[in-house]
Amino acid sequence: MANLDYRTAGESHGQALIAMIEGLPAGLNLDTAAIDNALRRRQGGFGRGGRMKIEYDQVNVLSGVINGVTIGSPLATQIVNKDWRLDRAPPVNRPRPGHADFAGSIKWLTPDCRSTLERASARETAARVAAGAVAVQLLSVFDVEVVGYVTQIGPVHAAIDAKAVPARLRLDRDANEVYCPDGSVAQAMMDAIAQARQDKDTLGGRVEIQVHGLPPGIGSCMRWQDKLDGRLMGAVGSIQAFKGVEIGLGFGCADRRGSAVHDEMEFNPHLRKTPNLGFVRRTNNAGGLEGGMSNGMPLVIRAVMKPISTLLRGLDSVNLLTLAPERSDYERSDICSVPAASVVAEHVVAFEVARAMCEKFAGDTVREMRAAYDHYLDSCRRIAGSAGEPDA
């Protein structure tokens, strides 16, 4: 079978957004309602702009399934744009500082930023969420859970319970419009966004994604291209407006000694039948990843999203036609899309983890993958703790 991968197509104001997934095993029951729910969450969140009042994202599966079950061929999904006006959209000659407008116009030798901004737009992430929502369903076959949420908006920080299970985090996150499990700061986050709107400004923030249920050994240290931490940072860092990614303690490692960073190990025989094989850590500063591989602890990825570069009041710029100083153009946009970005990050992480699982437990069908997974865990238990045991 081919390696699990996907690509997207489509422009912000084009006819539709497409995600084509290759390497998906046959036999996966595809729940399109779950994909639509992920798309709905991406469209939501306090601080979103007028575009989301126009669109109503729903997935249309074009290929790769029969009667709702994947057949192993490429899975093509389509999300139709209601605000389709690409051929009628006006030119943009005053690039927005912080956006792809200027660099793209120079790269493609045109004073019109339109073609660049249409593809660089975060609207493209709807296709990525659709692909990630399929990956979430594949991961559920192995009881792997992924949850993403907001931890900061502007100056307002949340306190997240490090011991909370995914179901609890998900329940608390979905109880407010900023997708933050710490409900005590939700109103303050919304107030900060409302003030930025009044000031014709924008706000950024931080998101966190956790992955639970992975056994040790997913990823590799043999080639740098296969290191799971690098792949996760690359995937999350590729999301529009993201400017920093860390795993576990991340940048906090810089001012601590090794004894305060590395996660000391224990063995709990009562957990031997779980995916972590009974090996637990007193802390999780590594964020579940060591040497490019999962270590059985929850994966923890954090990322920073900068404030959106489209401001109602504009910013000083240069007209690419006349070279005269002017204020930047305005395209309909959000004040803060950190809540929506947490949904995108959750789903790009899910896809990268699913990709690594497919590599480790390769099979043309879901049944074969699950059998390979069960065999691997059984083999791990035979190896770990085999000292003093009779030969098989």
pLDDT of 112: 96
Q: Phi and psi of 190, rounded to 5°? A: -65, -35
Both structure tokens of 282: 């007193």
pLDDT of 50: 63
Q: Which tops the pLDDT comparison, 304 or 392?
A: 304
Instruction: Give me the domains of the chain, ranges plus CATH numbers.
Output: 5-383 (3.60.150.10)
Both structure tokens of 249: 């303690």
Q: What is the pLDDT of residues 320-364, one digit of tens each?
A: 999 999 999 777 778 999 999 999 999 999 999 999 999 999 999
Average pLDDT, whole number, for the chain? 94
317: three-class secondary structure by DSSP:
strand
For residue 379, the surrounding DSSP H or E stretch is helix 366-383
User: What is the model's pTM?
Assistant: 0.95
Region 112-130: mean pLDDT is 95
pLDDT at 239 over 50: yes
Region 100-104: mean pLDDT is 96
DSSP characters over 73-128 = S-EEEEEE-SS--GGGPPP--SPPTTSSHHHHHHHTT-S--HHHHHHHSGGGHHHH
The DSSP code for 314 is: -
What whole-number distance in Å separates Cα of residue 293 and Cα of residue 300? 13
Q: What is the pLDDT of residues 71-82, one digit of tens each?
A: 999 999 999 998
382: three-class secondary structure by DSSP:
helix
Cβ-based neighbour number of residue 317 at 10 Å:
18
What whole-number distance in Å separates Cα of residue 379 and Cα of residue 117? 51
Among 45-49, 136-140, 213-217, the minimum mean pLDDT is found in 45-49
String of b and e for 241-275 (b: at least 16 CB within 10 Å)? bbeebbbbbbeebeeeeeeebbbeeeeeeeeeebb
In the chain the beta strands, taken as DSSP E runs, fall at 5-9, 16-22, 60-63, 65-66, 69-70, 75-80, 145-153, 156-157, 205-212, 242-247, 265-267, 279-281, 289-290, 293-294, 299-305, 316-318, 325-327
What whole-number distance in Å separates Cα of residue 147 and Cα of residue 246? 16
pLDDT band with cut points at 50, 70 and 90 for residue 391: very low
pLDDT of 83: 84
pLDDT at 12 over 50: yes
pLDDT band with cut points at 50, 70 and 90 for residue 41: very high
pLDDT of 1: 59
String of b and e for 107-140 (b: at least 16 CB within 10 Å)? eeeeebbbbbbbbbbbbbbbbbbbbbbbbbbbbb
Q: What is the pLDDT of residues 125-148, one digit of tens each?
A: 999 999 999 999 999 999 999 999
pLDDT at 233 over 80: yes
Q: Are residues 16 and 80 in contact, defined by beta-carbon separation less than 8 angstroms?
A: yes
What whole-number distance in Å separates Cα of residue 54 and Cα of residue 52? 5
Q: What is the pLDDT of residues 294-331, one digit of tens each?
A: 999 999 999 999 999 988 888 999 999 999 999 997 77
pLDDT at 390 over 60: no
Q: At what angle do helices 228-237 and 338-360 cross, to 10 degrees?
A: 150
Q: Phi and psi of 246, rounded to 5°? A: -140, 155
Cβ-based neighbour number of residue 176 at 10 Å:
20
pLDDT of 23: 97
Q: What is the pLDDT of residues 269-287, one digit of tens each?
A: 999 999 999 999 999 999 9
54: three-class secondary structure by DSSP:
helix
352: three-class secondary structure by DSSP:
helix
pLDDT of 53: 65
